Amino acid sequence: MRVNETHQHILVVDDDIQIRRLLRRCLEDEGFRVSEASGPAEVEAAMRGAVDLMTLDLNLGGSDGLAIARNVRRVSNVPIIMITGKSDTIDRIVGLEIGADDYIAKPFHLREVLARIRTVLRRSAEVASVKGGVIRFDGHELDPARRTLIGPNGADITLTTGEFDLLLLFARHAHKVLSRDQIMDGLKGHDWAPNDRSIDNQVARLRKLIEADTSSPRLIKTVRGAGYSFTPGTIEG
């Protein structure tokens, strides 16, 4: 057994007991603490405690993995890695739109799963470890250390991990044009594919949360043939 006292808590959600046991043995050998769930009720119970990352099968027999992801995202920004036998691109895009941080198709290699888990956890920890540096733009307050966004009216705006990382990337490159490739490079750890439209989908979701008028966006502008530019009227931090 490899000694690696991470003690980070991974929730494995799959209706296949063999898959759950396989992932549990692998992750526990790497020093992770592991819980298992096969459906919505068990996920809800597990989420009452501290969970550092969730692996989630889209196809849970009698349950819908996408519905579970939506419910989790209503109350938590815990990183989610979709693990599924489905190869349909639409399912992959919908999963990422809901707020999944990565996507792995079955059959998978355990080393790949471990690498993806470590990458997502590392990215989340790196952003969370940023000290100070609250970024204020047009009445919003973006706090990298607490991973929170407060709107002009003082209310919290709930962002998924992917949405927060994207907004932080934009804010740190305000008034610069970022191509899709530059955005993908900046969001290291996400599972991108050639001709992937997930960036555009994430931008569309983010606009719904921070733009007053999504039909005429003022904060995140599309630069035809080049990419996107974050253009707040004021920005500090």
Q: Which residue has the tokens 């955005």?
A: 183
Bridge partners of 102, per DSSP, are 81
Statement: residue 90 has pLDDT above 70: no
Instruction: Check residue 139 and give its pLDDT.
Output: 93
Could you give the CA distance from residue 80 to residue 146 in angstroms, rounded to a whole number? 19
Q: CB neighbours of 160 closer than 8 A, spacing ≥ 6?
A: 73, 77, 98, 99
The full set of domains in the chain, from first to last, is 9-128 (3.40.50.2300), 135-236 (1.10.10.10)
Statement: residue 170 has pLDDT above 60: yes
For residue 105, count other CB atoms closer than 10 A to its CB.
14
Higher pLDDT: 128 or 73? It is 73
Q: CB neighbours of 83 closer than 8 A, spacing ≥ 6?
A: 14, 19, 55, 56, 57, 104, 105, 106, 108, 113
CB 165 within 8 A of CB 148: no
Specify the pTM: 0.58
Instruction: Check residue 186 and give its pLDDT.
Output: 80
Indicate the pLDDT class of residue 83, thresholds 50, 70 and 90.
confident
* CA distances to 24, 37, 176, 234 from 223, in Å: 46, 44, 10, 20
Higher pLDDT: 84 or 114? It is 114
Instruction: Check residue 209 and give its pLDDT.
Output: 94
Instruction: Check residue 208 and give its pLDDT.
Output: 95
